[in-house]
Amino acid sequence: MSEHSTDIVPSGLDGGYGTLAAWEVVPPPGVPPRGTAVLVPGFTGSKEDFEALLPLLAASGYRAVAYDQRGQWQSEGPDEIVGYGMDDFTGDLLKVVDQVAGDEPVHLVGHSFGGYVGRVAVVARPERFRSFTLLASGPSSLEDINFPPPGLLAQAVEAGGQEFLWQQMSTAMFAADTVPDPERLKFLHDRILATEKANILGILRTMETPPLADPAQLRAAGVPLLVAYGDTNDLWPPRVHERFAEQLGARRVVYPGVGHLPNEDVPQQVCDDLVAFWSAPVA
């Protein structure tokens, strides 16, 4: 865990099914508050994906909340796949926004599948969001993506469970000549085993239908948009992110030499870009 962990306060939020495990940071004394941000993790992720980023946002004046989606890691979730549809995930997100910000709109950051959830939520309730950042979150899990077909992967997970998925993902995450940190490796393994199998299968089922297939729907919501991504070994090639940003009329930030986790690999750069985006005048 990072040196910033003492700045992070664990909490529980009400979701549509049960309690969602969350982390919260607030600006330190003497730093004027500038707003609230909600950060949503992706497939097999959790609030810990933002551990390095959260304290940086707080130091910049933002209250920030990250949470495990239903059935992920430390959040409660149903045992049945039917409880993990897109309406369930977006309903949880909107409940979180209402709890942490009241009537005030928030800055939303969605990483990977968290961006899928955010897209639907922003279109459904644009007045709840001051901005929306798609962080390493491309347009589809079916085309132009370095990811197995969701339906095929779901069949393998159904047969082999979370351990099968861990073996596949750990092989992809760490190069043959890389020796991962044992503590981090244990955390990632524990996290995927603790994530509900129904969550994994439900998300894979949801991925078979691209959320808001027409980018015009999100553009028309009128919420300022940022597309941010690494240009090396992300799930989506840079040209896909670039085209997606153009279709959305979004601002764009690229992190050279970074893969699918800019929030972990270059958190200070991500923080600086988010703060610049959030502070920019609305066109």
- Give me the sheet containing 129-135, strands edge to edge: 9-14, 19-25, 62-67, 35-40, 106-111, 129-135, 225-230, 251-255
HSE-CB at 177 with a 13 A cutoff on CA atoms is 0
Q: Which of 82, 76, 62, 101 is nearest to 20 (CA)?
A: 76
Structural domain of 9: 5-279
pLDDT at 1 over 50: no
Query: 70-124, pLDDT tens digit by residue?
Result: 999 999 999 999 999 999 999 999 999 999 999 999 999 999 999 999 999 999 9
Confidence band for 2, pLDDT divided at 50, 70 and 90? very low
Q: Are 80 and 198 in contact (CB under 8 A)?
A: yes
Q: What is the CATH number of the domain that holds 106?
A: 3.40.50.1820
Sign of the torsion formed by the C-alpha atoms of 233, 236, 238 and 239: positive
Q: What's the mean pLDDT in 22-46?
A: 97
The predicted pLDDT at position 179 comes to: 63
With 90 as the cut, is the pLDDT of residue 178 above it?
A: no
Q: What is the 3-state secondary structure (H, E, C) of the chain?
A: CCCCHHHCEEEEEECCCCEEEEEEECCCCCCCCCEEEEEECCCCCCHHHHCCCHHHHHHCCEEEEEECCCCCCCCCCCCCHHHCCHHHHHHHHHHHHHHHHCCCCEEEEEECHHHHHHHHHHHHCHHHEEEEEEECCCCCCCCCCCCCCHHHHHHHHHHHHHHHHHHHHHHHHCCCCCCCCHHHHHHHHHHHHHCCHHHHHHHHHHHCCCCCCCHHHHHHCCCCEEEEEECCCCCCCHHHHHHHHHHHCCEEEEECCCCCCHHHHCHHHHHHHHHHHHHCCCC
Residue 185 token pair: 């490796």
pLDDT at 207: 96
Confidence of residue 5 (pLDDT cuts 50, 70, 90): very low
Instruction: Report residue 162 as tokens.
Output: 């979370």
**Tens-place pLDDT, residues 232-241:** 989 999 999 9
Burial (Cβ within 10 Å: 0-12, 13-18, ≥19) of residue 281: exposed
Q: Above 50 in pLDDT, residue 4?
A: no
Mean pLDDT of 173-190: 76
How many domains does the chain divide into? 1
Q: Can you give the pLDDT at residue 75?
A: 98
pLDDT beyond 70 at 257: yes
pLDDT of res. 118: 98
